[in-house]
Amino acid sequence: MTSRMRTRIVALLSIVGITLLVSIPLLSNAQDATPEMTEEQMIQRGASIYYTVCVACHQVDGNGVPGIYLPLNKGGIANLEDPTLFIYTVLYGRGGMPRFNSTYSNADIASVITFVRQEWDNNSAPVTEAEVAAVRDNYSATPIVSPTPDAQIPEGQNHPEQRQDPSNATPASTPSS
């Protein structure tokens, strides 16, 4: 290695070192580029998501479709004091509901839940991104098992837990063709 090459390497390493020394204090004072939304911004974002995605099942008035899609208006899961079950349900689905854990960010999930908890006849506290993150972190590997709610079972059909196990069926109990 030549003397000139060593000088260049030392100069380059000096520049890198000085850059690091100058930037570390600046980085420690850096603020998040995307500050948390205000409650009004959350409600607006949540309304946008709700009326694009959720409205198909839960309807414009939040009352769902009786016997098929649960209502989000007037009580129920949307208005529990502790929003953990509602957050979990939106993230991981329940009954026939799809999961949104890989579709939406914590901010988006918090926004749509806050919108639902404050829309129509609802008047519950907003949900924060931190609450959604906590549910996502705590429950992603340990799903909550819940039966299909009675309201989602079409009239005239037995509850899934009451149906006959097909492995126990006999020819006499099998419908003839």
Q: Which domains are assigned to the chain?
A: 39-143 (1.10.760.10)
DSSP notation for 24-44: HHHHHT---SSPPPPHHHHHH
The per-residue pLDDT for range 42-73, each reduced to its tens digit, is 999 999 999 999 999 999 999 999 888 889 99
Helical ranges in the chain per DSSP H: 3-28, 39-49, 55-58, 84-92, 106-118, 129-139
Query: Do the beta carbons of residue 83 and residue 127 sit within 8 Å?
Result: yes
φ, ψ for residue 65 (rounded to 5)?
Answer: -120, 115
Reading the block at residue 101, the tokens are 């854990």
pTM higher than 0.85 for the full model? no
pLDDT at 32: 53
